[in-house]
Amino acid sequence: MNRISGGGHGQRGFGHKHGGSILSVDYFAYASALRKWNASFKVVFAIISLLLCIILDNIYVSAVVILVMGYLTVVIGGLSFHHYISMMLIPIVFLIFGSIAIAAGFSLEPVGQYQFRVFHLFYIYCSDHSLLRAAGLILKALGAVSALYMMTLTTPLGELITVFRKAHVPKVIVELMNMIYRYIFIMMETHSRMKNSAESRLGYVDFRTSCYSFGQVASNLLIVSLKRGNDYYNALESRCYDGELRFLEEEKPVKGKQVVLAAAFVLVLLGIRILTGSC
């Protein structure tokens, strides 16, 4: 199984890395072994997994979804485990801080199973129930995120747009999604090039110089990005862009084995929910 990494040559990865995980998503999708799967099947499978993870509301179901989606993305798809974890850290950190408000409470009296007194003024407390509820929320959200990651890290944007068109999503929404996605790429790549240029000139050698370089990059980023965005749109119009982007569709039939395994996965999730109940 080839590993998709940010460096290297040939089939093992990409010749260069573009500015970080956000800018590498499309490259990972094109290099993924799961790109050979039918795009509509992957989208439907990811959405069903996401909905089951939320509706069934079970920590074991959420854990299984996280493991299976990670297995598909990393082991089957060939994405580097390091890159996958790096991308997952973004929602993990956000969820941890967001769940603190659910797990902990404030009181003037020592209540709950666990208390911490702050400056002899009030108590921060929590209980086993609140901790379990916060953990369940984190796992549920990570299960949903991992399902979406499986879809986006294995399916190029052009194929996703084709799926949305087949689903009769309004054309204006599809076009806006594609344009915004591409303009984010443009801005991130512009920032990466400007930062690399500043670093090559020792622009971040100390704190004072770093602040100056940051200000220069920030002040020019919008102007340069707008210029490149305008060039991108001019390039579209020069190729007879009429308000609708069309992509070459590759025939990727859904295999019976994939349908059987997907159905078995759904049945396993339902079975776990029935056996363990609401927890």
Other CB atoms within 10 A of residue 144 CB: 22
- pTM score, whole prediction: 0.77
**How far is Cα 222 from Cα 215, in angstroms, rounded to an integer?**
12
172: CB partners within 8 A, 6+ apart: none
236: CB partners within 8 A, 6+ apart: 245
DSSP letter at 198 equals: H
Q: How far is CA 270 from the centre of its chain?
A: 25
Where b means 16+ CB within 10 Å and e means fewer, 48-83 reads ebbebbeebebbbbbbbbbebbbebbbeebbbbeeb
Q: What is the DSSP string of 90-131?
A: HHHHHHHHHHHHHH-EEESS--SSEEEEETTTEEEEE-HHHH
Q: Give pLDDT tens digits along the chain (279 positions).
A: 555 555 443 333 333 344 444 446 888 888 899 999 999 999 999 999 999 999 998 999 999 999 999 999 999 999 989 989 988 998 998 888 888 888 887 777 777 777 777 787 888 878 888 888 888 899 999 999 999 999 999 998 888 888 988 888 888 888 888 888 888 877 888 888 888 888 888 888 888 888 988 888 888 888 888 888 788 888 888 888 777 777 777 788 899 999 999 999 999 999 999 998 766
Other CB atoms within 10 A of residue 218 CB: 11
User: Among 248, 75, 261, which residue's Cα sits nearest to residue 153?
Assistant: 75
**How far is Cα 92 from Cα 179, in angstroms, rounded to an integer?**
28
CB 157 within 8 A of CB 147: no
Q: How far is CA 266 from the centre of its chain?
A: 22
Give the pLDDT confidence score for residue 4 in this predicted structure. Answer: 56
Chain position carrying tokens 């915004």: 180
Alpha helices in the chain (DSSP H): 21-31, 39-56, 59-70, 81-103, 128-152, 157-166, 171-200, 207-238, 256-276
**How far is Cα 98 from Cα 109, in angstroms, rounded to an integer?**
24
Helix (H, G, I), strand (E, B) or coil at 47: helix
Q: Locate the domains of the chain by residue range.
A: 170-247
Task: Return the amino acid letter for 169.
Answer: V
